[in-house]
Every structure is written in structure tokens, then in C-alpha cells.
Amino acid sequence: MKNKFLQISMLALAAASLTFASCSKESTTTSTTPVVNEISVPETNTSMLNKYTGTKCPPCGSWGWDMAVELIDYSKTNAIYVGTFSQNFVAEGFITTTATTWDKALTGSSLGYPTFAVNNVAQLDRTSSGVNTTSEKAKCKAVIDAHKVAPVMANVGFTTSWAQDADGFWTITINSRTKFFKDNSGEFYLGCYLLEDKAKGNQTGHVPSINAEHHHVLRQAIGGLDYGELISSGAVTSGKSIEKTFSSFILKTYVKENMEVLFVIWKKNGTKYEFVNASSNQK
């Protein structure tokens, strides 16, 4: 019990840190224990749509907010939206090390915040005189649409369950199955992440600017690994399945009813991690 309370205390301290928030301190365990119940894995592609942003960024709260709402509505079934708060010059709230890692590895030149990316490729049309938001929205939509109809390399199916202890702390357990639909080779990684929709926090440029409800905020990487765990190395054949179980405490500062699970399959190419597919229970 003493160790448990120590771990919970460490989680609370991690959440209190804005600039140096560490995903690893908010996560608990992963395992390769076989999933008992059959989990179906759909042969579908889903994109990841990131808004790289900051709570002290005026454009992020004005035209960037409106653009996010439009893209969320457009990509309801074809993409998973992730509010991605990295450590940057307009950073203040919701910062995670995972967001910072993804931001630094972002493909394409970033000319400031917000930057919208699909499958971790920035979709930009910007000059020193301004941002062509119409063009950038069209670029995002085109990449989402193209990924949806592309051949499916692999995907993830999962189930979730919740348990609450006597002290009111919730634990989420996620059973997952990754299935490959194409022969391939290389190093494949599986990342499991927690998002919180309607996360309240300040946002410069937005009305209201105090306690605005932010969309699908990236809260942590379970296990603390920005790109997850290695699940396959070398040749992989169509039909191969890998089962993993993930578990994490949920901090009391998060709203359980608004928590969402995101899985991303990455393929490592040299030192870079390339997006393969995503799966989520995002509504």
C-alpha cells in the first residue's frame, strides 16, 4: 500500500509540472499477456490529425481554433484529432514530453503555431505575409482522404475496462490486438496514448480565454515511450497478430468520462518513426 501511495504522489507531482511534465511518470505498465477475449481488428485506415499548439498563442485560440473545429467535424470517422501541446515559445499548459518529441520530429517546416499535421506531416501554405487557411484545410482533408482508401498495412483493435480503488483513483486497463494485413519488413512500434476531451485551461485568443474547453488533449503516453514499444522486427507476414495489455492510473485532475484511448502504429526508418495507422475510441 505504501508503494502504491508513493506512485500516486509521483503522478500528482508530474501533473503539477507545466514545463517539465513527464509522460513516463503518469504511466504504469504494459505487458504481452494474451488477451482472453477475441478482439476484432478492422481492415481500415484512420489518420492522426494533430494541432501543434500553445495556450499562450493568440492565433491558436482564434483562427486556429476555428480551423480545428472544422477539421474535427470533417474527419469525424476518418481521422483522430489530437490537441498536441509541445514545449515551445507559446507553451504554458498541457505540455507533455511526447508532444514535444513529435513536434521536433515533425516532417515539413513549421512557420509558427498553430501547425496542423496529418500523420505527422505538416500541411502548410504560409509565407511571411500570412497563412492561407483555406489551402491548409484542403491539404489536411486531401491527406486524410488518401490514407483512408490506401492499402491497409496493419491496424489495432482494443477493449477498455475501468476500476476504482477505495481512495477514488481510477485505473484503466486496455487489451489490444495488432494485426498485419500485408507482408512487410522492418521495425514496427505500438504506442498507446491517453487523451482528454474538453480539458479546461486558459487559451489566449479564444473567447472565453479562461477555462476554455480544449479538444482531445494529449495527456500521456502509457509506459512513457513517445513511440511505444517494439512489436515486430524483421519480416512480418499478413495475418500476424500481436496482443498487449496496457494499464495506467488516471490522475484526479482528469475527467474520467472525457478520457479517450489512442493507438498509433509506427514504422522506424533510420532514426525517424513514420506513421502507419491509428485507432481510437474518440467520439
Q: Looking at the domain that runs over 47-149, which CATH code has it been given?
A: 3.40.30
* Selected residue with higher pLDDT from 145 and 5: 145
Within 10 Å of residue 20's Cβ, how many Cβ atoms? 10
Task: Look at residue 8 and tell me whether its pLDDT is greater than 50.
Answer: no
Percent of the chain with pLDDT over 90: 80
281: DSSP letter: -
Reported as a pLDDT band with limits 50, 70 and 90, residue 34 is low
Q: How confident is the model at residue 249 (pLDDT cuts 50, 70, 90)?
A: very high
Superfamily classification of domain 26-42+150-207+222-280 = Immunoglobulins (2.60.40.10)
**Is it the case that residue 234 has pLDDT exceeding 80?**
yes
CB atoms within 10 A of CB 247: 19
Q: pLDDT value at position 57?
A: 98
pLDDT value at residue 31 = 64
Q: Mean pLDDT of all residues in the chain?
A: 89
pLDDT of residue 38: 82
pLDDT tens digit string along 140-174? 999 999 999 999 999 999 999 999 998 889 999 99
CATH 2.60.40.10 residue ranges in the chain? 26-42+150-207+222-280
pTM of the entire predicted model = 0.88
d(CA 258, CA 283): 10
- Between strands 184-196 and 217-221, the pairing is antiparallel
Q: What is the mean pLDDT of residues 72-78?
A: 93
Helical (H) or strand (E) element with 276: strand 272-280
The answer to whether 99 and 48 have CB atoms below 8 angstroms apart is no
Beta bridge partners of residue 267, listed in sequence order: 188, 274
What's residue 30's pLDDT? Answer: 63
Decide which of 26 and 247 is more confident: 247
pLDDT at 9: 41
| Per-residue model confidence (pLDDT) at position 111 | 77
Contact 263, 190 (CB under 8 A): yes
Distance of CA 52 to the CA centre of its chain: 11
- pLDDT band at residue 4, thresholds of 50, 70 and 90? very low
- The tens digit of pLDDT for each residue in 83-119 reads 999 999 999 999 999 999 999 999 887 779 999 999 9
Closest Cα partner for 273 from 176, 181, 188?
188
Residue 208: per-residue pLDDT = 94
pLDDT at 129: 87
Q: Average of pLDDT values for 199-228?
A: 97
Percentage of the residues of the chain whose pLDDT score is greater than 70: 87
Torsion angle of C-alpha atoms 230, 42, 71, 204, degrees rounded to 10: -40
For 246, phi and psi rounded to 5 degrees?
A: -120, 145
Intervals of CATH 3.40.30 along the chain:
47-149
Instruction: Tell me if residue 190 falls in helix, strand or coil.
Output: strand
Q: Look-up: residue for cell 476484432? A: 40
